[in-house]
Every structure is written in structure tokens, then in C-alpha cells.
A and B are shown apart, each in its own frame.
Chain A
């Protein structure tokens, strides 16, 4: 009977809907470009989950949805909530015994979502864009400096994760080979190396040379790094030359930067596999693993002035950023999932031995409910960031094209302007926002 009570308690912890199913209606509204509705759903869910293990991911979704809906101050408030939560988790010990024990007895989805490395960088990036939109340039620069520091910290965290994964993978090498777990690895054609997000660095560079009172030379450092990481695109070579001349005292014409955020970032789906453990008491375990799934296709974007069309350059492929993080974290996820599955199998076996058929049923339910992969991920991130720079035309009118979709905008007056264009699923309307940098 005691076993039944214990298992019942643990079942309460494990038997929750996956994040993928929780976000179904929210993602539907978002993909259709209904940003107002998406913001409403996200705000409701963030309120409901504000004290739960999913608080961070819901605050991130809420912040992104409110930003797209043009509610910049509310968006920053949501991002601040996420940031506070992340800081709270960071203040705790790096690895908590109770946390690991919970993970072993339930599943990784039962642990708090503490924010992935790229989440933290994008959180500061979106906050900076919101502050720029609100005309608070100094605060935007603070956010961009934080994003820069987060990128550096993530490079170190990544290196540590790789070393730890290499150590732990040895223990399960046979199991991993036997179950073909290598197939969970996402296919990445590109790799940004030490970079977490080149778009963040691009935005930082743009703000440094056009806004900052000091440290303006650092804009060139960032631009040179992105230029080399992205394989030397002509747009960035041109940008480096132009910024170098401006920092040397040269005048420049009125400029407009158009930032295209297109598509949606990958999500995580669950894969259930039987993994042989080669243990006489627990010969194999059924375990659930996350698999990354890309959504939609890459979309080209252009800016047209009169009869001239200029293509926007791909600055950041978020599929690559997310996949790199996933790939780095996967060995640890496999290791911890196998350890948790083995622990649960052992508990179920003990229940069967001590409580007969009733124990066997309870044990079966416990194992089935506990085998749940962690599918939480920031779903409102875009698939790609593309940037195009044009000299602002005399009539200040630009035509913006994303795939077959077209929209027009009249740019504000100013020496340096930024137009942000957000596209969703094909057919959904483009969202256009703009602000003046200089």
C-alpha cells in the first residue's frame, strides 16, 4: 500500500500535458499572424504558470507576442519576469541534489525550465529593440551589453557541456549505439562556432556606431567577427568599410536598415525508443527523447525603391542557433533520460515484487506516465534574421517584400532609421514597426 501512495504522488508530478500540446492554440494564432490573439493567450498562460516550472518559457512567449502586437512596455515587463526567474535559478547551486532526484524519479520535463543560452541572448536582444522603439537608447545599450556578456558566458557553458558529455557518454556508449540514439542529432549545414547569435552582435554594432557616446570602435570588432563567421558576405564587407569611414569622421547619407524576421524557429517532438541497458535486472528501458523539428522554409526578402530591388542578407539562421544548442545538450539529455528510465524501472520492479498485481499495474502506470521528453522551447522565435541597408530615398517610401508578400512603408525622418518587418506563415500579414536611431 505504501508503494501505491508513493507512486501515486510521483504520478501527480509526471502526468502533465507536454509543452507541445499546451502551446497548440497559441502557436496557431501566432503562425496565422494574429499577434493580438497570440498575446492574449500568452498573457493568460504566463499568468497561470507564473509560479510553475514552465514560468520562464511562458514569459518568453508572452514577451515576444506582446512585442509583435506593438505593446513594447508590456513586452519588456514580461521579459523582465523571465529574466528574474532565470537569475533566481542561476543563484541556486549549479546542480541541485533535489533537482536531480526529481529528474530521476519523474522526467526532465518535470524540472524547471531555466532558459537556454540562446533564450537569454534573444531575451536581451528583444528588450533592446523594445527600448529603441520606446526611445530609450541608453537602456537599449545596457540590454545589448548584457546580451554580449550572455553570448560570452554561453560559449564557456557550451565548452563545459561538451566536456561533460564526452565523459558521461562513455558509460552508455553501448546503449546509445544499440538504440541508434545518434539519429536524434539534428543535421546542421552551418555552424556559427563560438557565436550564439550573430544578429545580436549586428544590432549591437549598429547601435554602437550610431548611438553610443563611447566604445564606438567596438562596432567594427563585432562586424569583423560576424563577417568572418558568415563566410564574408559582401553586405558586411561593405558595412565594415562604411562604418570605418564614419568613425574616421566622414559624413554619411540618411540610411535605413530593414530587419526581416521571417518564419518560425524549430520545435521539439517526442520520440519513444526501447534502449537496451545490458543489465540482468533491467535489461532494457522504454525512454522518451526530444527530437528537433524544423518548421517552414527559408524565405528571401527584398527592399524595393522605385524600380530597384535589393536583397536582404541572411545574418542569423535561428535553426542553426537552436540546433547547435540542442546538439551540445543532447548527450547530457540522453544520459539523464537513461538514468531516470532505469531508476523508474527499478522502482516498478520493486513495487511488483512487494505488492503483486496491484504493484505491477501501479508500476506500469508510473513508467508510462514518467516517460515524457522535455519539449519546452521558445516557439515564437523566428526562423531567420535578414538585414538590408539602403540610402533613404527622397520620398522616404520603401516597398518591403517577403516571398510573395508585399507591403509599403514611409520611413521616419532621421540620419539612421530602422524598420522591423515580421513575417509569419505564408499568407499572414506582415507586421511592420520602425524607430529612429540617429
Chain B
């Protein structure tokens, strides 16, 4: 009967071995955050955005004139990785830093495929509507054209190697490239590339 008992035990026993994890809050940049080799994690976005912002600010490419901040539009950020990502995870952090520093404001009224926010256009369409007090509707010539455009590319390269009897090590390299173009001259007045290289055999917790 032994093999039969063994067989039934093998089928049922795994149920007893399963535990459950409790949900908890973690510091988004701390040691408890999850690290995935093939993905860009929250802490990667934070680190890269900080480094790129510092580089842009130190370059002096954007200087406010008489305390008046320059106007920036967001160009195309190409995603050449193998995963779906929200590039706002990077761009929003840079925009916020420039805005807070008083160097530049971002226009949401101009974009490569139409405005980021349609409201500026929508409110102007009320000009022919008698139901609205026309003095409260923005007049013509108030929208500000951008001075600069910020565009870039995120690239992923993967590699794997096996060393002796050790498990296969996977490596992912993410390159974050940004360019700031002066829209008057079409010249790139600032360019930078930051790398994130991650290595491991599976997902881990910790920075």
C-alpha cells in the first residue's frame, strides 16, 4: 500500500506547505522595494530622473531671463525596450523639478500629436457661445509658444551568462537618453545619457 499512500500524500501535501504574505507599505526608495532584472522599477525611475535633472540644471542650458521662466514642450520619448512603460514616470519628475526651480514651465497646449491637455483649446471654442460671459474667455494671442523641446529614448539591452555550476545570471541594461532642443535654432543645447545596469538570477527585494 506504500506507493499508494505516497501518491496521495504527494497530491495533497503541497496545500499544507503554502503560506500567505501580509500586505504592507514600504519606502519606495528603500531596501524593502522589489528589484526585477528585466524591468524598470520605481527606484530606477527616481534615480535616473534625479541624475538627469541635476545634469540639466548644472549645464546652464535653461536660464530664466529676468526671472521669467523658459517654456518647454515635451517631444517624443521613444520606448525601445521590450516592456510597456509609462514615460511620464521619468518626464513628470523632471518637469516638476524644473518648475519648482523656476527655470522652466511646461506647456500642455502643444504636443506632437495634439495638446497634452485639450482644455486650452476647448475654452477658446466658447468664443461664439452667447451663454458665456465673453470677457472671461481668453483673447487671441495669449498662448505661449515653447522655447525648448525635450525628447529622448529609452533603450534596453539584455544579456545572460552561466558561470560553471552556478545558475544563469541575467543582465539588463537600460539607457535613458534625453536631448533639449532650442526650437529657434533647432540645435540640441543639452544631451545626456544615464545607465541602469541590473544583474541577478531572479527578482529580489532590496536596492
Is chain B a partner of chain A in the same complex?
yes
Which residues from chain A sit less than 8 Å from chain B, CB to CB?
93-97, 100-101, 103-104, 148, 168, 171, 213-218, 220-222, 224-225, 246-249, 277-279, 281-282, 335-336, 338-340, 342-343, 346
Q: Are B15 and A277 in contact (CB under 8 A)?
A: no
Could you say which residues of chain A place their CB within 8 Å of the CB of B18? 93-95
- B1-14: CB near A (< 8 Å → 1, else 0) gives 10110111011101
Indicate whether B88 reaches chain A with its CB closer than 8 angstroms.
Answer: yes
Indicate whether B76 reaches chain A with its CB closer than 8 angstroms.
Answer: yes
Sampled A-B contacts (30; CB under 8 Å)? A93-B18, A95-B15, A97-B15, A100-B11, A100-B12, A100-B15, A104-B8, A104-B11, A104-B12, A148-B84, A168-B10, A171-B7, A171-B10, A214-B88, A215-B85, A215-B87, A216-B113, A217-B77, A218-B84, A248-B76, A248-B112, A277-B3, A278-B3, A279-B1, A336-B11, A339-B7, A339-B10, A339-B11, A342-B4, A346-B4
Say how far B202's CB is from chain A's closest CB, in angstroms. 11
Residue on B nearest A228 in the bound complex, by CB: B82
Q: Is the interface of B mostly helix, strand, loop or mixed?
A: mixed
Indicate whether B78 reaches chain A with its CB closer than 8 angstroms.
Answer: yes
Could you say which residues of chain A place their CB within 8 Å of the CB of B85? 215, 218
A339 to B12, CA, bound (A): 10
A339 to B82, CA, bound (A): 42
Q: Are B7 and A342 in contact (CB under 8 A)?
A: yes
Say how far B200's CB is from chain A's closest CB, in angstroms. 16
Say how far B157's CB is from chain A's closest CB, in angstroms. 15
Residue on A nearest B12 in the bound complex, by CB: A100
Q: Are A279 and B82 in contact (CB under 8 A)?
A: no
Q: Are B84 and A215 in contact (CB under 8 A)?
A: yes
Say how far B149's CB is from chain A's closest CB, in angstroms. 12
Say how far B75's CB is from chain A's closest CB, in angstroms. 9
Indicate whether B81 reaches chain A with its CB closer than 8 angstroms.
Answer: yes
Would you list which residues of chain B between 109 and 151 have a CB under 8 Å from chain A? 112-113, 116
A216 to B85, CA, bound (A): 10
Could you say which residues of chain B place their CB within 8 Å of the CB of A277? 3
Other contacts beyond A221-B79, A247-B76: 16, CB < 8 A: A93-B18, A94-B18, A95-B18, A100-B15, A103-B11, A104-B11, A148-B84, A171-B6, A171-B7, A213-B116, A215-B87, A218-B85, A247-B112, A277-B3, A279-B1, A339-B7
Contact of B20 (CB < 8 Å), options: A93, A103, A168, A214: A93
Q: Are B86 and A215 in contact (CB under 8 A)?
A: yes
Residue on B nearest A215 in the bound complex, by CB: B86
Residue on A nearest B10 in the bound complex, by CB: A171
Would you list which residues of chain B between 49 and 89 have a CB under 8 Å from chain A? 76-79, 81-88
Q: Are B15 and A93 in contact (CB under 8 A)?
A: yes
Q: Are A214 and B15 in contact (CB under 8 A)?
A: no
Could you say which residues of chain B place their CB within 8 Å of the CB of A346? 1, 4
Indicate whether B23 reaches chain A with its CB closer than 8 angstroms.
Answer: no
Q: Are B12 and A249 in contact (CB under 8 A)?
A: no
A335 to B14, CA, bound (A): 14
Residue on B nearest A201 in the bound complex, by CB: B84
Say how far B186's CB is from chain A's closest CB, in angstroms. 15
Could you say which residues of chain B place their CB within 8 Å of the CB of A282? 4
A340 to B8, CA, bound (A): 8
Indicate whether B16 reaches chain A with its CB closer than 8 angstroms.
Answer: yes
Residue on B nearest A94 in the bound complex, by CB: B18
Could you say which residues of chain B place their CB within 8 Å of the CB of A340? 11
Q: What 4 A-B pairs are tightest by C-beta distance, nearest first?
A: A217-B79, A218-B84, A339-B11, A97-B15
Could you say which residues of chain A place their CB within 8 Å of the CB of B6? 171
Could you say which residues of chain B place their CB within 8 Å of the CB of A224? 82
Would you list which residues of chain B between 81 and 104 have a CB under 8 Å from chain A? 81-88
Q: Are B15 and A217 in contact (CB under 8 A)?
A: no
Residue on A nearest B79 in the bound complex, by CB: A217
Could you say which residues of chain A place their CB within 8 Å of the CB of B1? 279, 281, 346
Could you say which residues of chain B place their CB within 8 Å of the CB of A168? 10
A338 to B3, CA, bound (A): 12
Could you say which residues of chain B place their CB within 8 Å of the CB of A218? 79, 84-85
Could you say which residues of chain A place their CB within 8 Å of the CB of B12? 97, 100-101, 104
Could you say which residues of chain B place their CB within 8 Å of the CB of A247? 76, 112-113
Q: Are B4 and A279 in contact (CB under 8 A)?
A: yes
Say how far B78's CB is from chain A's closest CB, in angstroms. 6
Could you say which residues of chain B place their CB within 8 Å of the CB of A214? 86-88
Q: Are B87 and A217 in contact (CB under 8 A)?
A: yes
Could you say which residues of chain A place their CB within 8 Å of the CB of B11? 100, 103-104, 335-336, 339-340
Q: Are A339 and B8 in contact (CB under 8 A)?
A: yes
Could you say which residues of chain B place their CB within 8 Å of the CB of A248? 76, 112
A148 to B112, CA, bound (A): 26
Could you say which residues of chain A place their CB within 8 Å of the CB of B83? 221
Contact of B7 (CB < 8 Å), options: A93, A220, A246, A338: A338
Could you say which residues of chain B place their CB within 8 Å of the CB of A96? 15
A220 to B15, CA, bound (A): 42
